[in-house]
Amino acid sequence: MRWWDLDAVLALEHELFPEDAWSRGMFWSELADARHPSASRTYVVAEEAVEEAVEEAVEQAGAQAAPDPPGAAPAGTPRIVGYAGFAAIAGTGDVQTIATARDQWGSGLGGRLLTELLRAATAAECHEVLLEVRVDNARAQRLYQRFGFEPIGVRRGYYQPGNVDALVMRLADPAQTFAADLR
């Protein structure tokens, strides 16, 4: 993820997490610690070429594509369909955020983003990875469980302003889990 991705990332963030979306400043702060030799943060985006998305939608509708409106991004400009962030501090990793556009749910994109974060954990020699997930987000919990994360606790009222609890999950030895997934 780079600074020029922030407008698209923030739009997706507010669509998916309207009550507890991260601010531009929060993303800037994270990105500031992702681009130097001793960086402790890793942020990635997943892109889909707009041209491919338009062609697919047109094909499904059985119509012809209209020309780009004035001022629109040119055909082929990538659309951000997901993003994820990770922090590594003193051998412990933390999944800071992970999100995929609704039209990507069920496509495996969330798993690919999580795999990138686990690569970062392995590179940072993390002995464990932690994360918080809303207790009402069963879809995300299933994804994390498929990767070997286990619930270890609850943080009451973690997500504000909705006062929603967070389930804390842990993956022990991400390098071993990641290596097993590659086989």
What's domain 3-182's superfamily in CATH? Gcn5-related N-acetyltransferase (GNAT) (3.40.630.30)
Q: What pLDDT was estimated at residue 52?
A: 54
Q: What pLDDT was estimated at residue 83?
A: 95
Domain ranges for the chain, please list them.
3-182
**pTM, whole model, 2 decimals?**
0.78
Give the chain as a 3 state SS string.
CCHHHHHHHHHHHHHHCCCCCCCHHHHHHHHHCCCCCCCCEEEEEEEEEHHHHHHHHHHHHCCCCCCCCCCCCCCCCEEEEEEEEEEEECCEEEEEEEEECHHHCCCCHHHHHHHHHHHHHHHCCCCEEEEEEECCCHHHHHHHHHCCCEEEEEEEEEECCCCEEEEEEEEECHHHHHHHHHC
The parts of the chain modelled with pLDDT lower than 70 are 49-77, 178-183
